[in-house]
Structure 1
Amino acid sequence: MVVVHRLPSLPTDEPRAHHIGNPPSGFRNPWPSFDEAHGGVLDILKVRFARHRPAFVPVPERSELVPVRKIDFAQLKGKGGPAPGLKVTWFGHASFLVQTATASADEVEEGARRRGVNILCDPVFSDRTSPVHWAGPKRYTPTPCSLDELLESVEIDLVLISHNHYDHADAHTLTAIWARRKPHVHFLAGLHNARWLISACGIDPSCITELDWWDRVEVEVEAEAEAVGAEAHAGNEAGTTTPTPAKVQITCTPTQHFSSRSIFDRNHDLWCSYAIQDRDHERGGSEGVPGKKVYFAGDTAYRSIPSAGLSHEEEDERPTCPAFKQIGERLGPFDLALLPIGLCEPRQFMSNVHANSWDSIRIHHDIRSKKSIGMHWGTVRGGLSAQYEDVRTPPRHWRQAAEEAGLSWGEEIGLMDVGQTLVLA
């Protein structure tokens, strides 16, 4: 059973600057870092179909693309070896499974819960990120497992949705998760997103919580009583123990982006990122070990670049989004950040909504992340990126940007294979 408790929102200087109207009819990016001069339908058509547009950039052979590993479900279930810490598994693009730390063998003997909270972030398992399954951006890197295999092996407790774009909010995937896990799964999303989660996915409104920027919730997952060996629990005649609920705290945080599922609802639904903290392992009085913290950026930009060909020094003179320093000051430091690095070309057109590698290095510093992994690349691409961005470019630029910033590759900045699980001990 999943129980969501609302906590007091974090105070802000301008708490409703991103709202359009009161109550809000829509939302906006309230910072000088967002330039809305580009990005309309006519701009898209001009860039996409202009006479002098670049030639189509083919997807190279699989050997040149991001490696895909077979999912280690035993590791996800916490079986074998020492008790793991918080785990993060990449399914491609912006889809991640975040699992808060499991109990150690000693803690289990003392009656602690066996597993942590299983959280899916922006899950997309469809072949196309589109309103229809016969057209639209197509996946060129397979998922490391099927959705059925994942749901068969892992009890999903919580789904975080950063915004309503089809490459982050796949109705087919969300419907399948709900059908398999209802009513034992809860969905978190920005304001106004419940409407399509209900209409397109059939999710019960009681299992959806909408959040504004800086809203916080604590989520408890109450496990069923678990049979254990009588010898491991001397004095417990029934041979059972009721594990304590696993807890995680989620804060909805700002990003510079936009929303739309059609041409008629642009910016109607709020977009966001999430700060995730494992509350279960704040052991307090005994060890004083704080819970691990993960930042999931979803989709975001950092600044707006008005023309192509600017140097990094010239780009650094542009206004940057102040939200990330606020996130770092209020919620950092983070043990891990998942930051976008791809689908960001052409730069003068995409920069106000999509960060590139150099932008995300700045975000890494602003949010005070100890380690950041590049995402939003290597999986799917739309019409614009098919003409302007080689799919091998984002990881190369990510490493180049890290080295230019003096960050240690593999320690402070890195990449994951699709299907890889990273453990934060």
Structure 2
Amino acid sequence: MQISKEKKAEELESAFSTFNALSAQLAESYQALEHRVSVLTEELNKSRHERERQLAEKERLANRLSLLLDLLPGGVVVLDGEGTITECNPAALALLGGPLIGEPWHDVIMRSFEPDINEGSEINLRNGKRITINSQSLGNEPGKIVLMTDITEQHAMQTMLNRHYRLSTMGDMAASLAHQIRTPLATAMLYISHLNKPVVDDADRLRTLDKVISRLRYLDHMVNDMLQYVKSGTFEMESVDLGRLLDDVTQSLEPQIKLHKGQLKIDRNLRNKKIKGNHDALLGALINIVNNAIQVKGAGIIVTIGFKEIQAGKLKMTIADNGPGIDKDIISDLFTPFFTTRPDGTGLGLAVVHTIIEAHQGYIDAVNQARGAVFTVCLPLANQGDVLGKAFKSDRSCLLELARPNEVNQYASSK
């Protein structure tokens, strides 16, 4: 019995020892867990404070952007993937009128835009304003942001400057024209005076009349050039078919080219393109450039006309000849009115060309090549006026066609 009691005492002591050991382990685990909870709580607090700071910073940034958007002089419109206006600034409301939020962009175009869009990316609004439009996708988010810039005052100022320049040029032209007319007119009068002789045989009469007609034709050519120069800043713009323009150029120049035993080579790879401009004015400009080359080179003239589509929807045209080239001392005066190196030249041909190209929002330049001269003309393609074109597509189909100019015209004609 004594042994059994001792054994039970040992077992009880062992149980207490085990309990104490487990209690110590639990205490250590609890302390470790408590420490871990404390660390996590601190990290969560830091993360929450950082998140709050970032949210506050984003809110401040959003407020600044909102203020900046309101202060922008340009109209800003944000479109969703369906082409509906979700945001706009006060400048957009001032340009297009309200309401805008929630309105389909297509409906706003029909309501606020003039049907006649005739100068590249410049657009007339029904309220008399003139704007340019640029758009950018929203990146990963479906939709677009549209920026409208009011250029009404800028356009009016440019028109006024052009008018003053033309008036100033016309003053110089009037004085120069009087001098240019005096010589051929005096010559014609001198020839006519020969017809007052008591006896003039038929051969002398015919020779005199030919000389008189030649001088009168020169005067007529000069007056026509001057009128064309004065009017060349105002044209009715249309979509000019490049293929038809080239056909008319060939038909008009073929007799002169054959007369001088020359060649006219035209690259027609872009004949299906369309230019925004005036067919007759562009035809006259091209004929003028080629005729100038023919008059300088004469027999054996070879004129090559090439085309290339370059960036930003522009058409680059080169007119190269095999003539003697352009004297480097006069190349800067080539497009100056009444500047000429030919005794029978009016000095208005290339000046008219320069004015026509500028009126088409293009540019023209002339340089010498290894043999001959090269005129480079850059013109906007007609589709650059379609700034209201397709903007939104889904994988299934076109969700919205932002009215093209021809669609706006159809809309206007139906009213």
TM-score normalised by the chain length of structure 1: 0.26
Q: Is the helix fraction higher in 1 or 2?
A: 2
Which has the higher relative contact order, 1 or 2, with Cα contacts under 8 A spaced 6 or more apart?
1
TM-score normalised by the chain length of structure 2: 0.26
Max radius of gyration: which structure?
A: 2
